[in-house]
Chain A
Amino acid sequence: MNDMSPEKKKSGLAKWSRRGFIGAGVLAGGGLLIGIGVRPGNPIGSLASKVAPGAGEQLVNSWVKIDMNNVVTAIVPHCEMGQGAHSVLAQMLADELDAAWDQVQVMQAPADGSYVVSDTARMFAAPFTLNAADWLEPTWDGLFTQLGKSMDLLITGGSSSIRTTGQNQMRIAGAAARQMLVGAAADAWGVPASEIATRDSVLTHEASGNSAPYSEFATAAAEQSMDHTPTLKTRDQYRLMGRSKARTDIPAKVNGTAEFGIDAVPEGLELSYAAVVRPPVPGTNVTAMDASRAEGMPGVLQILNMGNFVAVVADSYWQAQQAVNTVQIDWSQSESPVRTMDDQFAVFAAALDEAGETGGNQAAARGDAPAALAEAATVLEAEYRAPYLAHAPMEPLNCTAHVADGKCAIWTSTQVPLMARSEVASTIGIGADDITIHHPYLGGAFGRRLGSEYVAMAARVAQATGYPVKMIWSREEDTQKALYRCADMSRMRAGLSESGALVAYDSVFTQRHDPAEACVPAIYNIANTSVRVAEAELHLPFQAWRSVDHSQQGFFIESFIDEAAHAAGTDPLEYRLAMVENAPRHKAVLEKLAEISNWRGPNAEGTAKGVAIVESFGTIVAEVIEVDMTSGKPKMTNCWAVCDAGYVMNPDGFRNQIEGGIVFGLTAAMYGELELKDGAIVQSNFHDYKMLRMDEVPNIEVALINSGDVPVGGAGEPGLPPAAPALANAIFAATGRRLRELPIAKQFT
């Protein structure tokens, strides 16, 4: 399978310029191996350019093998951080392959060049909207391995696992493998392929009485010609897709055996432990360090001034942390003019002032918004604000590293193992080929683990000590010295006609990351729209945070639409319905939401409801939050959500993600805020960076609509964006008080 003659290599590269490949080979020891590579969808592509400067679009490889024990194994480039990707990908593969469900397993691709390839040239049309398989080119095994030598990217994010790897790789690989197995059996049995049935990993020809497990023909199947456009099942043929199969990672997560990055205990290595202190103000460095107290503390091995952080290495993490807490560090002066959040908002306001009513970079335009605003019967103006937020995954950032003999081994929770590897390579001067990254389960990520500065830090400490070190950040470090969801400010204007219809919309804000369309109220039919960006500097370093720009833009846009509805004297849900008149999917979502939330009926005693709808990552989600204000403080009592992702592969898993997105969004809405003092973050741990807890979370009911033939939407992020505006709108309905900044709880003390 490693026939790499120059001639073939050349033709292979020529084929590489197509949009994707599929190839088959024989496994060592017998069995069928299928490799498949595609360029994933749009959001992830632009995200990638942010987290790995210089790298652009990427190709992602998956491998499917059928071994001699009849076990089907898929090796996928996605980590499992709680989104259930591994299980759903297995469902999609097993269904197309007609494999026995209990004999399909999904493994995570190791961070190794053979598994993933990347393409920096941005040369391909987006395959995301194409029907599966019509863009695939058959190729031969080995090409992936060859290309993989130069790869760099392997990402889990952008709610993309099912949409790209599942739809474009697992299903096609499964269907192609099934056809090849059938072809091999037909040849052997001398019967027409069309008469062979497949079910539960067994091939059967009823007329001749022949029957055999897949493994019997797995090796021969590799010799069959590869159909790169295999026939995929239609929905009525699904046996596993669309079912709530139990997730395969859950049993290990209830008995303590699931291994997360922080649990790594590399075999045969004696670990020491590091605790670190990073600069309180971003971009500053250590100018002086007094470690005299730490030197005398129990368990301490080394104290390191690493320039941009201080580390103490000790026999246990707890000893290291106690010791590092006593190190007196002087930091250089920050050049940032921002010392407080008032300063940061002043920076934003200055940029917005300069942009005025028409300036800034035009992000989207339709009709003539300035003219329509000038002629509108009523013009609404509002300024909205969103604070900085930390990701705060439950597993604090950590990394175990061992650098010895010119090689480096890393154990860490990361969303981007290959970029982490590059970062380590350039930081400690060891070639990427000599670095191995082991990446077990992630104890949450939410975008935080798209950055990998902590991995490089651990590698530096391990290199300096020469022995294996497990570095763990305290929660305080994780909260105060990390990467953040950006703060922002948006100035919005709406023009209403005599009848109250929204005829003009203008917004200008300072931050635009991903997805690019998040700032546009595109789901509504508004004749004149102008969306502008007036860029302004952020004091804290940015990192994509669950749903990225939708997290703040969803709040801005959907709160402001609510203002327009009230100004028009129209019910907010009916107002939105009127603006999606020609969008049947959005209309159906809102109608179903009205029904399950009893929107048009009377409110329960002492409560009021608010609504919001956001389409993000290919999924439309509308939510109603019911709030009880009788105590003077918001108490969330119920939440109803309706989602249309086109088609949901695992309804219960999808619901779990939406429920989680809602709680994440409501947590940010109620409590999420990082304040600055002297340029440093004030909040430090869960006592002042608060999370919603059991007693504060409303009942949540999630309804799903499978609207049909559209690309399958994501699950991890789309539940979040409507949560904050739905809550703020509910509070307005209850109190008449419009909340134009977050968080909410402190505004009701």
Chain B
Amino acid sequence: MASFILNGRPVTVDADPAMPILWVVREKVGLSGTKFGCGIAQCGACTVHLDGQPVRSCSTSISQAEGREVTTIEGVAGPDGELSKVQQAWVSEQVPQCGYCQSGQIMSATALLRDNPSPTDADIDAAMSGNICRCGTYTRIRRAIKVAAGQEPPRTEAMGEEA
């Protein structure tokens, strides 16, 4: 049995202590927003917060979470589903393409901005380089982080016009 706090609620599941948090959350609890990408902590698609710190849940066993707080993408929005600042910026900057890596990107960005409300480009590079986006939305992710940090204004429909 493993007991931990998932998105603010206590959870107890019957799982092999060595099973990664990723698979416990996806298969045992049924929250599928956290994604499997590589299984070796190289791509960041599975990023969750463990006591507030971003970790790669594909390579962190559930025994590490015993009695601790795990936050997944489903726990980022407010209680009534109101999107967080980071999520709102992801919408305003129209970041996602396929969207598969974006849960992990948002978890990394959320942790960055909580620890460092006005990140520099170098800070963003350091915090986000563990997350791969195969669709190549990096420039938009960077901009969305700056929008969420209040460093740049959100895009409006008219800003997308040209030609």
Do the two chains touch directly in the complex (Cβ atoms below 8 Å apart)?
Answer: yes
Residues in chain A within 8 A of chain B (CB atoms)? 81-84, 243-247, 249-260, 262-263, 265, 273, 298-299, 316-319, 321, 392-396, 441-446, 472, 474-475, 648, 650-653, 655-657, 659-664, 667, 685-687, 691-695, 697, 699-700, 703-706
Cross-chain contact A317 with B27 (CB below 8 angstroms):
yes
Compute how far the CA of A446 lies from the CA of B100 in the bound complex, rounded to whole angstroms: 14
* Interface pair B137/A441, CB less than 8 Å apart: no
Q: Which residues of B contact A253 (CB under 8 A)?
A: 96, 99, 102
Contact B27 A442, beta carbon cutoff 8 Å: no
Residues of A within 8 A of B126 (CB): 695
Candidates A298, A472, A691; contact of B132 at CB < 8 Å: A691
Contact assessment for A443 and B163 in the assembled complex, using a CB-CB cutoff below 8 Å = no
User: Which residues on the B side are within 8 Å of A245 (C-beta)?
Assistant: 157
**Are B134 and A317 neighbours in the complex by a CB distance under 8 Å?**
no
Partner of A443, one of B19, B30, B99: B99
* In contact, A256 and B100 (Cβ under 8 angstroms): no
Once A318-B20, A659-B136, A704-B163 are accepted as A-B contacts, the answer to whether A258 and B129 lie under 8 Å apart by CB is no
Interface contact B139-A659, CB-CB below 8 Å: yes
| Contact A394/B27 with A246-B91, A659-B139, A691-B132 known, Cβ cut-off 8 Å | no
Determine the distance from Cα of A20 to Cα of B42 in the docked complex, in whole angstroms: 49
Among A83, A250, A442, max chain B CB count under 10 A is at: A250
Q: How far is the CA of A394 from the CA of B134 in the complex (A)?
A: 6
Which residues on the A side are within 8 Å of B158 (C-beta)?
A: 244
A residues in contact with B101, CB < 8 Å = 394
Number of A-B contacts (CB under 8 A): 209
What is the distance, in angstroms, from A17's C-beta to the closest C-beta of chain B? 39
Q: In the complex the two chains form, what is the Cα distance from A12 to B140 in whole Å? A: 50
Quote the shortest CB–CB distance from A645 to chain B (angstroms): 9
Interface string of B88-112 (1 = CB under 8 A from A): 0011001111111111001000000
A395 touches B35 (CB 8 A): yes
How far is the CB of B129 from the nearest CB of chain A, in Å?
5
Which residue from A254, A651, A657, A685 sits with its C-beta under 8 Å from B42? A685
User: Interface residues of B toward A: which range?
Assistant: 35 or more
Q: Which of B83, B100, B140 contacts A255 (CB 8 A)?
A: B83
A472 to B16, CA, bound (A): 20
Whether B135 pairs with A256 at a CB distance below 8 angstroms is: no
A82 contact set on B, CB distance < 8 A: 96-99, 135
Question: Do A651 and B163 touch across chains, with their CB atoms under 8 A apart?
Answer: yes
Tell me whether A472 and B139 are in contact in the complex, defined as CB-CB below 8 angstroms, given that A394-B134, A442-B98, A656-B97 are known contacts: no
Contact A693 B38 (CB under 8 A): no
**The 7 A-B residue pairs with the shortest CB-CB distance in the complex, in nearest-first order:** A256-B33, A663-B136, A244-B160, A443-B100, A253-B99, A82-B98, A652-B160
User: Please, how many angstroms separate the alpha-carbon atoms of A683 and B158 in the complex?
Assistant: 44
When the two chains form their complex, are residues B161 and A319 in contact, meaning their CB atoms are under 8 A apart?
no
Measured CA separation A583–B158 after assembly (Å): 31
B141–chain A nearest beta-carbon distance, Å: 7
A392 in contact with B163 (CB, 8 Å):
no
B140 x A656 contact (CB < 8 A): yes
- Closest-CB distance, A251 to chain B (whole angstroms): 6
> Which residue of chain A has the shortest Cβ distance to B19 in the bound complex?
A318
Name the contact of A444 in the complex, choosing from B28, B32, B98, B129 (C-beta under 8 A).
B98
Report the Cα distance A540→B94, complex, angstroms: 37
B40 lies within 8 A of A660 (CB): no
| B142 contacts A by Cβ under 8 Å | yes
What are 6 residue pairs bridging A and B, where the CB atoms are less than 8 Å apart in the complex?
Answer: A262-B36, A265-B32, A651-B161, A685-B39, A695-B125, A695-B129
Bound Cα distance A653, B45 (Å): 23
